[in-house]
Amino acid sequence: MFKIAVLVSGGGSNLQSIIEKSKSGELACEVACVIGDRECYGVERAAEQGIVSCILDRKVFKKELCKEIDRVVSEKGVDLIVLAGFLSIIDEEFVEKWKGKIINIHPSLLPKFGGPGMYGIKVHEAVLAAGEKESGCTVHYVDSGVDSGEVIFQVKVPVLEGDTAEVLQKRILVEEHKLLPKSISKIISER
């Protein structure tokens, strides 16, 4: 069975979509572990589903965070690491070791509105401030840059008149919940 680790920092709604699709058999993988870099509902969500989960607090581990993540995912025999709203930056040594085996979901049409400081609601605020007519979400491989890796899939979402950042965020999140499992499925089929 193809094993994935999901790294979270927030509510874990993308994690939930992965769990549901793997339990239904729509996604041919097992969520082997969930790692949070802070206390968050995503870790609780995993525990409620009986999935091995842990918190590796970024404030405690600091520069050792990636070494600790590596230890956990290696012990679990993980095939793919999925960053689903994970806000800590992964270091170059970790990226090199897991090259081609780490993906991230980002709430914009990369390369637009990506990079340092572009996460969560900030992305949607920037899209609206720029007067964009469309936005969306992107799943990409993680490389040593921030939001700069090879794109796997993107979905466009229209920016509607009167949208607030929160409304746009919710509309894009609906698409994220489909796009992330679709991307994982593509990777599994190519292995």
- The verdict on whether residue 136 carries a ligand-binding annotation is no
- CA angle (54 as vertex; 153, 62 as ends), nearest 5: 85
Could you count the other beta carbons within 10 Å of the beta carbon of residue 170? 12
- CA angle (173 as vertex; 116, 137 as ends), nearest 5: 50
- The verdict on whether residue 62 carries a ligand-binding annotation is yes
**Do β-strands 134-141 and 151-158 pair in parallel, antiparallel, or remain unpaired?**
antiparallel
- The verdict on whether residue 42 carries a ligand-binding annotation is no
106 has catalytic annotation: yes
Non-local (6+) Cβ contacts of 38 within 8 A are: 9, 55, 57, 58, 59
Catalytic: which of 106, 124, 140, 177?
106
Q: What is the DSSP string of 139-173?
A: EEE--SSSS-SPEEEEEEEEPPTT--HHHHHHHHH
CB 83 within 8 A of CB 7: yes
CB 108 within 8 A of CB 118: yes
Alpha helices in the chain (DSSP H): 13-24, 41-48, 58-61, 65-75, 92-97, 121-129, 165-190
- The verdict on whether residue 104 carries a ligand-binding annotation is yes
- The verdict on whether residue 14 carries a ligand-binding annotation is yes
Q: Which residues does the annotation place in the binding site for (6R)-10-formyltetrahydrofolate?
A: 62, 104
> Hey, which residues are catalytic here?
106
Q: Which residues does the annotation place in the binding site?
A: 12-14, 62, 104
